[in-house]
Amino acid sequence: MSTEAAGAAATEQPLDERVNNRSQKPDSDAFRAFMAANWAPSAQELPARDDVADFAAGRRRAISMQFPKERLVIPAGALKVRSNDTDYRYRPHSAFAHLTGLGVDHEPDAVLVFEPTDDGEGDDGGQHRATLYFRPLAGRDTEQFYADARAGEFWIGARPTLAEFAARLGVATAHLDELEAAITKNVGDPAIGGTSIRLVRKVDDNIDALVDTARYNTAQDPQEADLAALDALDAKLTETLSELRLIKDDWEIEQMQIAVAATAAGFEEIIKSLPRAITHHRGERVVEGAFFAHAREEGNELGYDTIAAAGNNATTLHWTRNTGQVTPGELILVDAGVEADSLYTADITRTLPVNGTYSEVQRKVYQAVLDAADAAFAVAVPGRKFRGVHTAAMEVLADRLQDWGLLPVPAEVALSAEGQHHRRWMPHGTSHHLGLDVHDCAQAKRELYLDGIITEGMVFTIEPGLYFKNEDLAIPAEYRGIGVRIEDDILITADGPVNLSEALPRTPDEVESWMAGIYGANGPTS
Ligand code: GLY
Ligand code: MN
Ligand code: MN
């Protein structure tokens, strides 16, 4: 075939239709009629209102009060392709989950729209009416039912109906087909009677494009449309939603406890997996798999990819490749979190001696990290600055590194802004907020995050570590290949910090007893 002929053949059928070339989908009228008939009716009774509904209404009210007279658009996000026609497991954007109370895989392409009311009297004591637009369950008489692999009931199971979500969430619902009109209606400059719009961007490309087009088309002079200023409107909404999550309500605290309890139980599974891990050429994967199985059995998913890092791999902060061997005599650092069905996640790290007993130098490093964590706990109290938690941990670590003769300068100099030598072995932060995202509230202003005041209802991690790499020539050989992190999840109460993950052993003696209780006295190889 000539190149020209080959080119013509290649254009006969559009490439994106060829995915169906393996399909033998029945297409007769007889089939369609038969397929549509004789199904038992779906459940008629509506579900009860979810426990979260009142809390989610309070969150919507808080946002509504901050943006009067503006339309707010909060997308859940679309399915993401992993490869060809297979998608990643769906997980909605956290701002959407927070404002709706929806968890698990609800709901691809959905969008929550806050429409300002004329008189400022809205739902839930706010100034807007909120409507959840989504693709509801299609009838069994539709092609979607049997032919749509991404949304059809025959393929992925029944999806919610409009009435079901309305009953569960206490929010108005509408079909996705009505979304475009709802978002674009009367968009424009409020000075001339239009409605200003704010969007949580970079969640759903289609919605970004829809909003951009509506803004462009309704600008008085499209050539002059100040897209940067409009972006700033959007950024303010995203920032405000992120800051709204700095303080957890009672329902969220309960979800954090559920996630932490499931994660703590998962660490038991990790220890139980070690005997097999040490016999496997990729033992870290055995550990990762044990925790993942537990996360899927007891929760929705992992909150983030598990770090199962044995020996020197523990000195790579985000070692998620997990291809290494697990060798008795070394440590294994495991950083893992179960995401509950509500999508709240724990984030816990324990560093375990693979053979069940810490060596002298391992114990020394571990104890330093533990002391740093305890110092951080001591200042994690309401009224103090969040950044002080890190400072307290660093003071302990710098002192200890000085005692061991590893610091090239006095600890005092290292701790100054011009020094920071100790950070060679602890380059990450000590704390981050935790919740729907493992690094929650990440778009909050610095004044409310690092420079913020620790306040009742906050949940954050305390996670100091020390990481001595095999290749590190600045330290004696005995330290090399040791990485230790201890990470707990803290709830701030009026009475001070509560360690949500306290059920998991933390001290070296407790960890050894815990492992002995699972293996017996002779360790995992017995
Ligand atoms: N698991 C990631 C972190 O500890 O921040
Ligand atoms: Mn963390
Ligand atoms: Mn972690």
- Read off the pLDDT of residues 255-267 as tens digits, 9 standing for 90 and up: 999 999 999 999 9
pLDDT at position 134: 98
Q: How far is the CA of 175 from the centre of ligand 3 (A)?
A: 39
**Are both 240 and 302 inside the same structural domain?**
no
Check residue 259 and give its pLDDT: 98
The percentage of residues in the chain with a pLDDT greater than 70, rounded to a whole number, is 96
> Is position 267 within any domain?
yes
Residue 265 · residue 518 · CB < 8 Å: no
Protein residues whose CB sits closer than 6 Å to any atom of ligand 1: 304, 335, 347, 432, 438, 463, 487
Q: At what angle do helices 250-277 and 53-66 cross, to 10 degrees?
A: 120
Which helix H or strand E contains 232, and what residues bound it?
A: helix 227-244
pLDDT at 520: 76
Q: Which atom of ligand 1 is nearest to the CA of 303?
A: 1
- Write the pLDDT tens digit of every residue in 427-469: 999 999 999 999 999 999 999 999 999 999 999 999 999 999 9
Say if 524 falls within a structural domain: no
Q: Which of 244, 279, 302 is the last residue of a domain?
A: 244
In terms of pLDDT, which residue wins out, 179 or 6?
179
pLDDT given at position 522? 65
pLDDT at position 141: 93
Q: Which atom of ligand 1 is nearest to the CA of 432?
A: 5
Q: Are residues 203 and 106 in the same domain?
A: yes
Final residue of a structural domain among 228, 244, 260: 244
Is omega for the bond preceding 4 within 30 degrees of 0, making it cis? no
CA of 286 to the centre of ligand 1 (A): 20
Name the residue of 463, 484, 486 whose CB sits within 8 Å of the most ligand 1 atoms, as the mutation to test its pocket.
463
Using one digit for the tens of pLDDT, what is the confidence trace for 410-434?
999 999 999 999 999 999 999 999 9
Question: Residue 18's pLDDT is what?
Answer: 81
Note whether 216 and 279 are same-domain residues.
no
Indicate whether 456 and 313 sit together in one domain: yes
Q: Are residues 266 and 118 in the same domain?
A: no
CA of 193 to the centre of ligand 2 (A): 47
The model's confidence at residue 526, banded by pLDDT at 50, 70 and 90, is: low
Residues 143, 271, single domain; the answer is no
* Residue of 284, 23, 296, 53 whose CA lies nearest to 164: 53
Residues 376 and 341 both lie in one domain: yes
What's the gap in Å between 249 CA and the centre of ligand 1? 23
- Indicate if the pLDDT at residue 3 is higher than 80: no
| pLDDT tens, position by position, 200-250 | 999 999 999 999 999 888 876 665 567 778 888 999 999 999 999 999 999
Question: In Å, what is the CA distance from 455 to each residue of 189, 387, 417?
Answer: 39, 13, 27
How far apart are the CA of 347 and the centre of ligand 1, in A?
6
Whether residues 266 and 186 share a domain: the answer is no
Report the nearest atom of ligand 1 relative to the CA of 307. Answer: 1
Is pLDDT at 521 greater than 70 in this prediction? no
> Does position 181 have pLDDT exceeding 70, yes or no?
yes
Going by alpha carbons, the residue nearest to atom 3 of ligand 1 is 347
- At 21 the pLDDT is 80
Distance 416 CA to ligand 3 centre (A): 27
Residue 280 confidence (pLDDT) above 60? yes
Q: What CATH number is associated with residue 167?
A: 3.40.350.10
How many Å apart are CA 396 and CA 464, to the nearest integer? 10
Contact criterion met (CB below 8 Å) for 263 and 306: no
- Nearest alpha carbon to residue 381 among 493, 499, 500: 493
Atom of ligand 1 nearest to the CA of 463: 4
Mean pLDDT for 189-200 is 90
Ligand 1, closest atom to CA 439? 5
Ligand 1 atom 4 nearest Cα: 347
Q: How many domains does the chain have?
A: 2
CA of 453 to the centre of ligand 2 (A): 19
Indicate whether 6 pLDDT > 60: no
Do 382 and 444 reside in the same domain of the chain? Answer: yes
Give the end of a domain, one of 189, 212, 244: 244
Q: What is the pLDDT of residues 283-335, one digit of tens each?
A: 999 999 999 999 999 999 999 999 999 999 999 999 999 999 999 999 999 99
Residues 195 and 293 in one domain: no
| Domain assignment present for 381 | yes
The mean pLDDT of the chain is 94
User: Based on the domain organization, do 208 and 352 belong to the same domain?
Assistant: no
Ligand 1 pocket mutation, candidates 267, 305, 318, 347, criterion most atoms within 8 A of CB: 347
pLDDT of residue 1: 43
What three-state secondary structure class fits 81? Answer: strand
357: domain CATH number? Answer: 3.90.230.10
Residue 434 counted as domain residue: yes
Q: Is the pLDDT of residue 60 over 70?
A: yes
pTM: 0.95
- Residue 4: pLDDT band (50, 70, 90) is low
Range of the domain at 236: 53-244
The predicted pLDDT at position 44 comes to 79
Residue 383 located in a structural domain: yes
CB under 5 Å of ion ligand 2: residues: 347, 461, 463
Please tell me whether residues 262 and 239 are part of one structural domain: no
pLDDT of residue 224: 59
